[in-house]
Structures are given as structure tokens and as C-alpha cells.
Amino acid sequence: MIPFLKIDHLSKAFGGVKAVSDLSIALMPGRINAIIGPNGAGKTTLFNLITGFIRPDSGRIFFEGREITNLPIHEISRLGIKRTLQVKSVFNSMTVFENLWITLSAHRGHLNPFKKAANYRLEREEVEGVIEQLELERFRDREAGTLSYGDVALLEIGMAIITRPRMILFDEPVCGMSPQETERVVAKIASLAQQTHVVIIEHDMDVVFKLAEEITVLAFGGKLASGTPREIAEDQSVKEVYFGVDEVRADE
């Protein structure tokens, strides 16, 4: 099986601090992958490197067999790599429908974002389909700035999937959510994994163990361990460096 994402000896330093240090990982298709680690382990820097927001000092990145190291952000996006942010990024003054419509318009390029959506029947149906998929129908015409945090997270997911991505990188998707909101978002991410590659960064270990099928643990910019949730839960080095001994568990 060929990995959909391959990181080969990747390094990135900021001043004298090595945020990512000689990191090599391979993420396989057909499973939800989680990347975890303590603060400062290099998780967000890794996402920034993958999506082209910053460039590595050394090493290479491959997506579905193609090298994407140092490609511009827009070219990486065109390959179907999308990302959600820990700080949610939506247009607060626009409705749910308008947020999705403008995202699709920008992605397609040939659409005029200032032309009425009614003039684009197929595209309008795509937007309505995403709204239905995420169960946001009752908020269709509500401004995004009036939504709950969990519903904003779902809208941001919608803005990612409406472009039909090949991979979505979720950066702490349930941060700050209530248990009920967390449950909804986790269910949607699990569903999305049936149609696209999913990689998550998450500090909520209950969510990680419930959602992920493969976990990579980072520490000091390098890979500490990788394996199934149970293997990670039983790994002594992970307990000592990340969780504290005997504080980690995996669901039966």
C-alpha cells in the first residue's frame, strides 16, 4: 500500500529552536490518522509545512506520490489539500449559504462571486447539498457570526469539503466545544473519512482514541511513536513524555 502522505527527513527551525527535526512519517489511506504531542512538539508547524505556509529547511513532502515540497500555497490547494484552523475562519457577516457559495466561487475561478447564485443552478445545488450533509438547514440564512462555536466548526468543514478535497487537515477541530458539539463534529469527521483522507491534530485524547485508527506521536519536533490507539496507549515512552504514566487509556 502506498502512503497518501509521506514526510521524508523534514526539518524546520526558527532561530535556534528546531520546531520539526528530521521527521519521517508515512500515513496510509483507508484510516483516520491523528498527530498528537505536547505543546511545542511541532504539530502545527508540520501542517504549515504540508500546506505551503512555510518552507522547510530540509527534507521532502509527498502527497499521493507527487512531491509538493516548496510548492506555492495555491498549487498545493489545487491538488486537493485543505485545512481547517483551530481559530475558526469564516465570513461572520455572511450567511451559511453565502459562506459556502463564495468558497465554491473562489475555488472554481470561472464563477462570478457577485452574480446571483440563482443563475448557477448546479452550483447552487452543490451548496444546498453540503448544507444538508452537515445538517445546517435551519441556519441556511443565518449570519455565521450568530452561530454557536460547534455550528461554526461545521460550517468551516463545509467550506473545506465543498471544494471536493483529496485530504483535509483538521487542527484541533473540537477545541472549546461542549460535549454535545464535540459529538456532532466527531461524527461528521468520521463520515468524511469515507470519502477523503483525514488527518487531525487534537489534544482531547478521548476524541483521538474514539476517532483515529492510526496515531503518530511527536516530541521535540521528531517522531516518538506511531501505531494504533491501543499500541499508543500501552507505549511507556508515550506515557512518560506526553501523558504522564498511567494517564492514557484506549476504549475497548
- Which pLDDT tens digits describe the chain residue by residue (252 residues)? 789 999 999 999 998 899 999 999 999 998 999 999 988 899 999 999 999 999 999 999 999 999 999 999 999 998 999 988 765 678 899 999 999 988 888 877 755 656 665 567 788 899 999 999 889 999 999 999 999 888 988 998 899 889 899 999 999 888 888 888 899 889 989 998 988 999 999 888 899 999 999 999 999 999 999 999 999 989 998 888 765 654 444 444
Range of the domain at 113: 88-164
The answer to whether the CB of 4 falls within 8 A of the CB of 63 is yes
End-to-end, the C-alpha distance of the chain in Å comes to 27
Q: What is the pLDDT of residue 114?
A: 60
Give, in degrees to the nearest 5, the angle at Cα 36 between 32 and 39: 155
The answer to whether the CB of 154 falls within 8 A of the CB of 188 is yes
Specify the residue for cell string 469515507: 194
CB atoms within 10 A of CB 118: 7
129 and 182 both lie in a single domain: no
Residue 52, all three cell numbers:
505551503
Q: What is the pLDDT of residue 169?
A: 95
63 and 119 both lie in a single domain: no
187 and 237 both lie in a single domain: yes
Domain boundary among 146, 164, 182: 164
- Strand-by-strand arrangement of the 66-67 sheet: 17-27, 5-14, 58-63, 66-67
Q: What is the pLDDT of residue 204?
A: 87
73 and 186 both lie in a single domain: yes
User: How many domains in the chain?
Assistant: 2
Domain boundary among 164, 184, 205: 164
Give, in degrees to the nearest 5, the angle at Cα 232 between 231 and 236: 100
Can you give the length of the chain in residues?
252
160 and 175 both lie in a single domain: no
Residue 50 main-chain phi, psi, to 5 deg: -60, -40
The answer to whether the CB of 151 falls within 8 A of the CB of 107 is no
Q: Could you tell me the sign of the dihedral formed by the alpha carbons of 130, 135, 140, 143, in that order?
A: negative
Whole-model pTM?
Answer: 0.85
Residue 199 main-chain phi, psi, to 5 deg: -130, 130
> What is the C-alpha separation between 161 and 212, in angstroms, rounded?
19
68 and 2 both lie in a single domain: yes
Domain boundary among 164, 196, 221: 164
96 and 155 both lie in a single domain: yes
